Copies of this chain bind each other. A is one copy, B any other.
Amino acid sequence: MIDTKDYLVAPGHCVRLHDIATKDNGGLTKKEGMQAIRSLSKRLFELQDLLYAQRAKSLLIVFQAMDAGGKDSTTRRVFTSVNPSMLMVRSFKKPNTEELSHDFLWRVHQHTPPKGVIGVFNRSHYEDIVTVGVNQLQPSKLWQSRFEHINSFEKMLVGEGTMVLKFYLHISKNYQKERLQRRLDRADKHWKFEFADVDAREHWDEYLALYSEAIERCSTATSPWYVVPSERRWYRDLVVLQSIVNTLDALQMDYPEPEFDPNSVKIP
C-alpha cells in the first residue's frame, strides 16, 4: 500500500508546483501497481454500495490539471468498475451566457452529488480562479476574493455531509507536448486537438503559479488537495484510487439495520 499522505497538501503548507515531481512510482513496479489497482477497484465498488445503502454522506471528487493532464482518462480508469447508477460525472466547459450571469459557484452547486452518490467534477470552480486569473477575464480583485468564497462553500458542503477530495494531476510542459503531439499523430485522436491548448502553453508558468496559490490557500483538513505525479498513468490512478478508498474506509460503514424483522415477512 502506498502512502497517499506524500501527495496530500497539508493546510497552511507552502506549495510550489514548479518544484514538485511529475513522475513517481512509489517504489512499485507497474505489475505491482496494477495488482493494487485491481484490488482497490473491487474495494471501491463495495464501499460505493455501502455509501448508497446508508445514504448519510456523499463524496465529491474534483480533478484539475493542465490540458492533456489526464482528467478524462483518470475519470475513466478510476471509475469504470463502479456502479454507474450511483456515480455522477460532470465536465465543466467554458461557461455560457446564463452561467456567466450568475455567481461562479451557481453552476457547480447544481451538480454536487446527493447523499449516497459519488460526484466527479472534470474541471470545477477552480477554473474561475486559475483560467480567469491567467487570462484576466475578470478584475483581479474579484477573482482573488474567490479563494475565501471557495473555502466557505466547501466547508458548507462538508458540514452538510458531502466529503470533498481534490486532485491536481501534475505533468511537466514537455510531457504535455508529447500528449498533444499524440493527438496530431493518431487519426482517432484528431478530434481532441484544440489550438487553444497549444496557445495556453505560452502561459504555462502563470498557470502553474496560480494553481500553486489556489492549492495552497484551499487545501484544508476537511477538503484537501492532492498533487498527483501524473506522468505514469498507472501510478496516477493508484494514488487517486487509494486516496478515495482511504476516505471511504475511514467512515467504517456497515449496511443499515432494517426497521423490521426480515424473518417475519411472508411474500405472497
Chain A residues close to B by CB (< 8 Å) = 49, 53, 72, 75-76, 79-85, 87, 89, 91, 120, 122, 177, 180-181, 184-185, 187-188, 190-193, 195, 198, 201-202, 255-258, 260, 262-263, 265, 267-268
Measured between beta carbons, the chain B residues less than 8 angstroms from A202 are 268
Out of B76, B81, B187, B260, name the residue touching A255 (CB < 8 Å).
Answer: B187
Measured between beta carbons, the chain B residues less than 8 angstroms from A91 are 85
- Nearest CB of B to A3, in Å: 28
With both beta carbons as reference points, the residue of chain B lying nearest to A177 in the complex is identified as B267
Q: A190-B255, A190-B257 are in contact. List 9 more A-B contacts (CB 8 A).
A: A53-B188, A79-B84, A84-B87, A84-B89, A180-B267, A181-B267, A184-B265, A193-B258, A201-B267
Measured between beta carbons, the chain B residues less than 8 angstroms from A192 are 53
With both beta carbons as reference points, the residue of chain B lying nearest to A90 in the complex is identified as B85
Measured between beta carbons, the chain B residues less than 8 angstroms from A85 are 72, 75-76, 89, 91, 122
Out of B49, B79, B198, B268, name the residue touching A198 (CB < 8 Å).
Answer: B268
Give the 5 A-B residue pairs with the shortest CB-CB distance, closest first.
Answer: A190-B258, A184-B262, A53-B191, A76-B83, A188-B255
Out of B83, B188, B201, name the residue touching A268 (CB < 8 Å).
Answer: B201
Q: Could you tell me the distance between the alpha carbons of A79 and B257 in the complex, rounded to whole angstroms?
A: 30
- Nearest CB of B to A192, in Å: 8
- Nearest CB of B to A85, in Å: 5
Out of B49, B191, B263, name the residue touching A258 (CB < 8 Å).
Answer: B191
Measured between beta carbons, the chain B residues less than 8 angstroms from A53 are 188, 191-192
Measured between beta carbons, the chain B residues less than 8 angstroms from A181 are 267
Measured between beta carbons, the chain B residues less than 8 angstroms from A188 are 49, 53, 255
Given contacts A84-B84, A265-B198, contact A255 B72 (CB under 8 A): no
- Nearest CB of B to A184, in Å: 4
With both beta carbons as reference points, the residue of chain B lying nearest to A184 in the complex is identified as B262
- Nearest CB of B to A49, in Å: 8
Measured between beta carbons, the chain B residues less than 8 angstroms from A87 are 84, 89
Given contacts A180-B267, A181-B267, contact A190 B84 (CB under 8 A): no
Measured between beta carbons, the chain B residues less than 8 angstroms from A72 are 83, 85
Q: Could you tell me the distance between the alpha carbons of A267 and B204 in the complex, rounded to whole angstroms?
A: 13
Q: Could you tell me the distance between the alpha carbons of A72 and B256 in the complex, rounded to whole angstroms?
A: 20
